[in-house]
C-alpha cells in the first residue's frame, strides 16, 4: 500500500503522532487487513531519509520508508522505480495506491502493467480543479489500474461522468473506524478529566484548520449560538495553517472565553473530547468520507454537517442529524441551537449513529470488503 508523499517520521510507529500513522486511511486499511490474517506493508515517502528504511507501525504492519530522489520533474518516476526495486514490492500480490492525481501513482500503475502486478487505485481525495494535463494523466491512470475504489457514491458518479471510467472498474468501499475504541463514556467524568465545566453544553468540531474546512463559518455561527445558549462552549480540535487566523477571528468576534482551541491531541484525549460533547459539527466546503463523523457517531453524538461527500450518503441511510448549506452561518447556528435545546432529539440521533457505525462502518467491515475485492482480483 502506498500513500501520498509524507513528511519524515522521526519515530516510526511508536508515538503515533503523524496523521498517516495515527488515523489516516492507509493505516486503517492495513489494520483491517491484518485482522483478517494478511501480511501488509505500507510504503511512506520522505525527503529526509537517504535509503530505504524499515520499521513497524503500532497497529502491527510493516512500514517501508523510501527516499524521494531526483529533481522535482523526475522525482515521481525515480521514486516509483525505487519502490519497485524493494523486496516488499516484488513479493506482493496486490499493489494498492492512494491519491490518483499524484504522478507517482501514474508511474506505479505503469510499472504494475509491465510487471503484471495488479494495481488498485483508491479515490480518497479529489483536487478542487484539474488542468487538462492532469485530467489526461488521471484518466490514463484509472484506466490502466486493475480496479478503482471510491469511498462514496458521489465519487462513483463523478468518475463515470467526468472521466468516463467504466462502471465495472469501480467499487464503493466506505471508510471504517475502530468502534471498540470510540465508545461512549460517562460524560461528566470526561469533562472532569479535561478540566472543564461539567454542567455546560459543548459543541465539538474536529478538523484540520484550513479554509476549505469551514471552521471560520462555524465561528461566525457560534456568535449567535453563544448569545442564545448562555452556557455553551465551542471546542475546536485540530491543527493547521489557518489556526492563527481562526484565533484572531475568535478574538474579533469577542468569543475568546467561549471557544477552546486544543491544538494537536492524542487519540485518547480526542476520544475524551468526543465523550464530553453534546453536538458534533462538520462545517466543511468539501469532504470525501470524513472519519471524524464516524467517530462522532460511534460515541452517539448528533451531527450538524454541510451536505458534502460521505455525509450526504450517511444521512440518507438513517436520521443522524441536521444538514445545512455550506457557508451559511445562520442556518448552521439554528441547527446547533435546535439540538442544544432538545436533549431527547440528541439522544435519538446519537443512538441511530452508533447503530449505523456498528452495522456498516467498522474496520472489520471495511477489511471484509477489501478482502473480497483482493480475492477476486488475484484469482
Average per-residue pLDDT in the chain? 88
Q: Distance (Å, rounded) from C-alpha 217 to C-alpha 329? A: 6
- Both 344 and 371 in one domain: the answer is no
229 in any annotated domain: yes
Range of the domain at 139: 19-176+363-378
Q: Is the pLDDT of residue 72 over 80?
A: no
**Domain at 275, CATH number:** 3.40.50.2000
H helices present in 283-342, as ranges: 291-298, 309-317, 329-340
Q: Distance (Å, rounded) from C-alpha 185 to C-alpha 194? A: 13
User: pTM, whole model, 2 decimals?
Assistant: 0.85
pLDDT for 24 equals: 61
Which residues fall within 8 angstroms of residue 155, CB to CB, at 6 or more apart? Answer: 123, 126, 172, 288
- Both 248 and 347 in one domain: the answer is yes
Per-residue pLDDT tens digits for 268-300 = 899 999 999 999 999 999 888 888 999 999 999
More confident residue, 236 or 157: 236
* Cα-based distances in Å from 355 to 93, 188, 299, 320: 35, 23, 10, 10
34 in any annotated domain: yes
Q: Is the pLDDT of residue 15 over 70?
A: no
- Both 229 and 159 in one domain: the answer is no
Quick check: 182 and 321 in contact, CB under 8 A?
Answer: no
Q: Distance (Å, rounded) from C-alpha 17 to C-alpha 363? A: 20
5 in any annotated domain: no
49 in any annotated domain: yes
182 in any annotated domain: no
Q: Is the pLDDT of residue 141 over 50?
A: yes
Q: Which range scores top for mean pLDDT: 28-42, 219-233, 279-293?
A: 219-233
Q: Distance (Å, rounded) from C-alpha 201 to C-alpha 179? A: 24
pLDDT for 195 equals: 95
Quick check: 294 and 286 in contact, CB under 8 A?
Answer: no
Q: Distance (Å, rounded) from C-alpha 260 to C-alpha 199? A: 16
Per-residue pLDDT tens digits for 325-341 = 999 999 999 999 999 99
pLDDT for 342 equals: 97
Number of domains the chain contains? 2
Backbone angles phi, psi at 202, to 5 degrees: -125, 130
Q: Distance (Å, rounded) from C-alpha 46 to C-alpha 183? A: 35
Q: Distance (Å, rounded) from C-alpha 33 to C-alpha 61? A: 10
Confidence of residue 1 (pLDDT cuts 50, 70, 90): low
pLDDT for 4 equals: 42
pLDDT for 198 equals: 94
Q: Distance (Å, rounded) from C-alpha 300 to C-alpha 274? A: 9
Amino acid at each position: 500500500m502506498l500513500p501520498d508523499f509524507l513528511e519524515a517520521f522521526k519515530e516510526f510507529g511508536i508515538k503515533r503522532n503523524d496523521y498517516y500513522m495515527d488515523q489516516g486511511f492507509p493505516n486503517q486499511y492495513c489494520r483491517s487487513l491484518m485482522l483478517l490474517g494478511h501480511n501488509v506493508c505500507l510504503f511512506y515517502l520522505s525527503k529526509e531519509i537517504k535509503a530505504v528504511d524499515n520499521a513497524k507501525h503500532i497497529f502491527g504492519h510493516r512500514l517501508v520508508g523510501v527516499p524521494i530522489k531526483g529533481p522535482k520533474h523526475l522525482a515521481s518516476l525515480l521514486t516509483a522505480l525505487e519502490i519497485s526495486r524493494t523486496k516488499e514490492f516484488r513479493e506482493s500480490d496486490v499493489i494498492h495506491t492512494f491519491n490518483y492525481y499524484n504522478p507517482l501513482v501514474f508511474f506505479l500503475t505503469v510499472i504494475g502493467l509491465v510487471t503484471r502486478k495488479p494495481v488498485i487505485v483508491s479515490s480518497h481525495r479529489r483536487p478542487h480543479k484539474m488542468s487538462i494535463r492532469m485530467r489526461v494523466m488521471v484518466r490514463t491512470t484509472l484506466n490502466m489500474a486493475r480496479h478503482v475504489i471510491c469511498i462514496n457514491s458521489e465519487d462513483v458518479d463523478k468518475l463515470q461522468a467526468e472521466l468516463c471510467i467504466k462502471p465495472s472498474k469501480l467499487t464503493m468501499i466506505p471508510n471504517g473506524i475502530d468502534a471498540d475504541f470510540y465508545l461512549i463514556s460517562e460524560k461528566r467524568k470526561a469533562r472532569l478529566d479535561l478540566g472543564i465545566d461539567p454542567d455546560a453544553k459543548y459543541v465539538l468540531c474536529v478538523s484540520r484548520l484550513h479554509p476549505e474546512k469551514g471552521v471560520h463559518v462555524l465561528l461566525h455561527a457560534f456568535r449567535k449560538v453563544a448569545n442564545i445558549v448562555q452556557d455553551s462552549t465551542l471546542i475546536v480540535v485540530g491543527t493547521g495553517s489557518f489556526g492563527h487566523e481562526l484565533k484572531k477571528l475568535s478574538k474579533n468576534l469577542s468569543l475568546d472565553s467561549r471557544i477552546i482551541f486544543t491544538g494537536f491531541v492524542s487519540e485518547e484525549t480526542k476520544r475524551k473530547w468526543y465523550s464530553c460533547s453534546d453536538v458534533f459539527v462538520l462545517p466543511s466546503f468539501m469532504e470525501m468520507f470524513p472519519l471524524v463523523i464516524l467517530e462522532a457517531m460511534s460515541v452517539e453524538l448528533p451531527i450538524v454537517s454541510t451536505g458534502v461527500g460521505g455525509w450526504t450518503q450517511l444521512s440518507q441511510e438513517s436520521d443522524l442529524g441536521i444538514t445545512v448549506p455550506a457557508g451559511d452561518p445562520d442556518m448552521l447556528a439554528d441547527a446547533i441551537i435546535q439540538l442544544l435545546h432538545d436533549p431527547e432529539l440528541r439522544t435519538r440521533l446519537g443512538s441511530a449513529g452508533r447503530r449505523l457505525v456498528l452495522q456498516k462502518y467498522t474496520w472489520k467491515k471495511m477489511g471484509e470488503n477489501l478482502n473480497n475485492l483482493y480475492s477476486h482480483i488475484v484469482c
